[in-house]
């Protein structure tokens, strides 16, 4: 049966939001598993305006929300991160700083201003006893229970200057009990420097390795690792002309062409420092990883891939003019089998799924694995914006052994976040739950769906409803907490 969706439903993902110190959670279907204990965290856009003017979704102040699950009960709260632009602009009362997608009024006020506002709105992870809200210019520690902002993350101390960036998606190596992160430091007249670090739960740097990137103004985003390699991938290269002049938002100054393909970087984690560079096919772009692992002399890396330039124009508010969309394909899931010595690369595509915001069992990071879960674009007639993941409406479990997917499609007029894996404690890789934030356009309410991670196609174990309408989430994370 074709599901119906109204054109007006699109705007529900842009909902404005304020701090919520507490709100009821109703179980409207099934029951919360008694042994599912922890906090489901999400980060993403908060307040929709600065100084009374609308912001691109990705430029809004970071808003972290938490669903706390304990012995079959649930509670909810949400708060803006008190750091970066939110503090500098007095909670959105004024607009002082330039952003990635949205310039201040008038090119002159953006002229030569490349130090961007830190909106702290991209990801949230749990490390060292804190929830940590992230963005490229730096991260902030939050109390995982109250969401109170406790101060800057110690990783910010690794930044060499105001043009340096911190990778917004650090990943835990659970076997080593280390957090893997990176910085990128502009080289002035020379090439940029990529530095990978590993920190322990007290944020002490245990490993630090530096690599020269092949060029300048290279934007990278996600990371993954294997026992012997760190990996990251090029989102684009900044053409400083338009950005420095203040005539374009920074994101529109990213160069992208078939003559200058994006590149995958493999940096040695052991042995001599070496960077292997693998170009993508022309006109393909990628920035999120599923996982990577080693197989004999090869590195296998699984990624979300777009044909042509990824297009975030869906997330501009109507008040800000933007360019017409171009032809696109994806986001697809692809596997690359790379020999880091010969730089050979074989690519295969996971059949018949489209999606973003991938998740795996965290214990499998860097190791051979079988399952992944993605926020999926299911079929809605006439509603096929390839890059607008905020309107995706399902979850798929990918099985790399069989190359088949098990799918759950959300109810009509419902949008889904990334699926978050919460382990159940058994030995199987897929023994756990999938937690998904949902937006119900018809009811103008948000909620959370709990699925069996092994069999999402069986439908919800539980569905929870909140009294509030949250905007679309960026990334989400599950922190298993006791007590
Ligand atoms: Fe991301």
CATH number for 20 = 2.130.10.10
How many domains does the chain divide into? 1
DSSP assignments along 74-141, one per residue: EEEEEEE--STHHHHTGGGTS--S--SS-PPSSGGGGTT--S------SEEEEETTEEEEE-TT--EE
Separation of CA 106 and ligand 1 centre (Å): 30
Tokens of 124: 């949230």
Query: Is residue 237 situated within a structural domain?
Result: yes
The whole-number pLDDT of residue 249 equals 72
**pLDDT tens digit sequence for 187-222:** 888 999 999 999 999 999 999 999 999 988 888 999
Residue 425 counted as domain residue: yes
CA of 437 to the centre of ligand 1 (A): 17
In a domain, 2, yes or no: no
pLDDT on residue 1: 39
- When pLDDT is averaged across residues 253-276 and rounded to a whole number, the result is 86
> Which of 235-249, 338-352, 418-432 is least confident?
235-249
Mean per-residue pLDDT for 390-398?
A: 93
On whether residue 1 sits in a domain, the answer given is no
The pLDDT tens digits for 80-108 are 999 999 999 999 999 988 887 777 777 66
- Domain membership of residue 428 (yes or no) is yes
- Which DSSP state fits 36? -
Distances (CA, A) of 329 to 285, 332, 382, 460: 11, 8, 16, 30
* Ligand 1 centroid from CA 476, angstroms: 10
Q: In the numeric block, which tokens belong to residue 335?
A: 């596997």
Average pLDDT over every residue of 420-447: 96
CA of 123 to the centre of ligand 1 (A): 7
Rounded CA-CA distance 234/263 in Å is 5
Cα 320 to Cα 52, 59, 203, 314, 316, distances in angstroms: 14, 13, 41, 11, 6
Residue 193 included in any domain: yes
Q: How far is the CA of 419 from the centre of ligand 1 (A)?
A: 14
Q: Are 318 and 298 contacting, i.e. CB atoms less than 8 angstroms apart?
A: no
Taking the centre of ligand 1 as the mean of its atom positions, its distance from the CA of residue 323, in whole angstroms, is 23
- Phi/psi at 13 (5° precision): -75, -10
Cis peptide before 409 (omega within 30 of 0): no
Please state, in angstroms and rounded to a whole number, the distance separating the CA atoms of residues 80 and 113: 25
Between the CA of 169 and the centroid of ligand 1 the distance, in Å, is 6
Mean pLDDT of 399-421: 96
Q: What tokens does 480 get?
A: 């298993």
- Whole-number Å distance, alpha carbon 348 to ligand 1 midpoint, is 23
327: its two tokens:
């032809």
What would the pLDDT profile of 112-151 be if each residue is shown by its tens digit?
Answer: 666 788 999 999 999 999 999 999 999 999 999 899 999 9
Ligand 1 centroid to Cα of residue 30, in Å, is 32
| Rounded distance from Cα 356 to ligand 1 centre (Å) | 10
Q: Does a structural domain hold residue 139?
A: yes
One-character DSSP codes across 272-288: S--EEEEEPPTTEEEEE
Encode 226-256: b = buried (16+ Cβ within 10 Å), e = exposed. Answer: beebbbbbbbbbbbeeebbebebbbbbbbeb
Task: Supply the pLDDT for residue 29.
Answer: 97
Kindly give the distance from the C-alpha atom of residue 337 to the centroid of ligand 1, in angstroms, as a whole number.
23
Centre of ligand 1 to C-alpha 167, Å, is 10
Cβ neighbours of residue 203 closer than 8 Å, sequence gap 6 or more:
128, 153, 154, 155
| Cα of 43 from ligand 1 centre, angstroms | 11
Distance from the CA of 287 to the center of ligand 1, in angstroms?
A: 7
Distance 168 CA to ligand 1 centre (A): 7
Q: How far is the CA of 357 from the centre of ligand 1 (A)?
A: 7
Q: How far is the CA of 474 from the centre of ligand 1 (A)?
A: 7
Measured in residues, the chain has a length of 483
Q: Highest mean pLDDT range out of 65-74, 212-221, 234-243?
A: 65-74
pLDDT at 473 over 60: yes
Proportion of the chain above pLDDT 90, given as a percent: 70
Q: What DSSP designation does 240 have?
A: H
CA 68 / ligand 1 centre spacing (Å):
23
pLDDT band, very low/low/confident/very high, at 419 (cuts 50, 70, 90): very high
Q: Determine the distance separating the centroid of ligand 1 and the alpha carbon of 173, expressed in angstroms.
A: 18
Average predicted confidence (pLDDT) for the chain? 90
Tokens 């949205």 locate to 102
Ligand 1 centre to CA of 108 (Å) is 31
Containing H/E element for 149? strand 149-152
Q: 376: CA distance to ligand 1 center in Å?
A: 16
Phi–psi pair at 232, nearest 5 degrees? -150, 170
Query: Does the pTM exceed 0.85?
Result: yes
Q: How far is the CA of 222 from the centre of ligand 1 (A)?
A: 6
Measure 483 CA to ligand 1 centroid, in angstroms. 30
122 alpha carbon to ligand 1 midpoint, in Å? 6
C-alpha 29 to ligand 1 mean position (Å): 31
CA 147 to centroid of ligand 1, rounded, Å: 21
Read off the pLDDT of residues 146-174 as tens digits, 9 standing for 90 and up.
999 999 999 999 999 888 999 999 999 99
Domain containing 232 equals: 7-479
Tell me the C-alpha distance between 432 and 421, whole Å.
7
Give 109 Cα–ligand 1 centroid separation in angstroms. 29
């Amino acid at each position: 049966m074709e599901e119906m969706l109204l054109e007006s439903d699109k705007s529900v993902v842009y909902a404005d939001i304020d701090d919520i110190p507490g709100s009821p959670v109703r179980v409207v279907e099934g029951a919360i598993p008694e042994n599912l204990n922890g906090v489901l965290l999400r980060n993403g856009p908060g307040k929709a305006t600065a100084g009374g003017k609308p912001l691109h979704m990705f430029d809004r102040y970071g808003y972290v929300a938490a669903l706390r699950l304990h012995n079959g009960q649930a509670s909810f709260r949400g708060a803006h991160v008190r750091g970066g632009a939110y503090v500098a602009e007095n909670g959105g009362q004024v607009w002082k700083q330039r952003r990635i997608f949205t310039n201040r009024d008038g090119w002159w006020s953006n002229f030569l201003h490349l130090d961007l506002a830190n909106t702290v709105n991209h990801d949230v992870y749990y490390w060292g006893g804190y929830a940590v809200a992230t963005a490229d210019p730096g991260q902030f520690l939050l109390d995982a229970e109250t969401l109170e902002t406790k101060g800057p993350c110690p990783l910010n101390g690794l930044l060499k200057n105001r043009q340096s960036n911190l990778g917004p998606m650090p990943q835990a190596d659970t076997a080593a009990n280390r957090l893997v992160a990176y910085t990128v430091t502009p080289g002035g007249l020379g090439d940029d420097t990529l530095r990978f670090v590993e920190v322990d739960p007290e944020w002490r740097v245990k490993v630090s390795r530096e690599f020269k990137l092949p060029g300048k103004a290279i934007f990278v985003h996600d990371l993954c690792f294997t026992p012997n390699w760190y990996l990251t991938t090029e989102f684009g290269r900044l053409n400083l002309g338009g950005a420095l002049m203040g005539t374009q938002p920074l994101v529109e100054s990213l160069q992208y062409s078939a003559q200058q393909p994006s590149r995958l970087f493999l940096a040695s984690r052991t042995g001599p420092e070496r960077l292997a560079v693998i170009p993508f096919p022309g006109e393909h772009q990628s920035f999120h990883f599923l996982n990577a692992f080693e197989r004999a002399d090869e590195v296998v890396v699984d990624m979300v891939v777009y044909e042509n330039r990824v297009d975030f124009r869906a997330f501009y508010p109507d008040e800000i003019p933007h360019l017409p969309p171009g032809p696109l394909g994806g986001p697809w899931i692809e596997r690359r089998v790379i020999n880091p010595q010969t730089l050979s690369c074989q690519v295969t595509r996971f059949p018949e799924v489209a999606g973003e915001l991938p998740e795996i069992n965290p214990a499998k990071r860097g190791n051979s694995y079988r399952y992944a879960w993605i926020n999926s674009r299911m079929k809605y007639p006439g509603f096929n914006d390839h890059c607008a993941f905020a309107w995706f409406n399902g979850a798929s479990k990918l099985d790399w052994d069989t190359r088949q997917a098990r799918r759950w499609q959300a109810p009509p007029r419902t949008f889904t976040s990334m699926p978050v894996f919460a382990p159940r404690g058994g030995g199987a890789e897929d023994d756990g739950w999938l937690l998904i934030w949902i937006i119900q356009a018809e009811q103008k309410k948000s909620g959370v769906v709990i699925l069996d991670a092994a069999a999402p196609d069986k439908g919800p174990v539980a569905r929870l409803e909140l009294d509030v309408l949250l905007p679309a989430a960026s990334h989400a994370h599950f922190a298993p907490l006791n007590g």
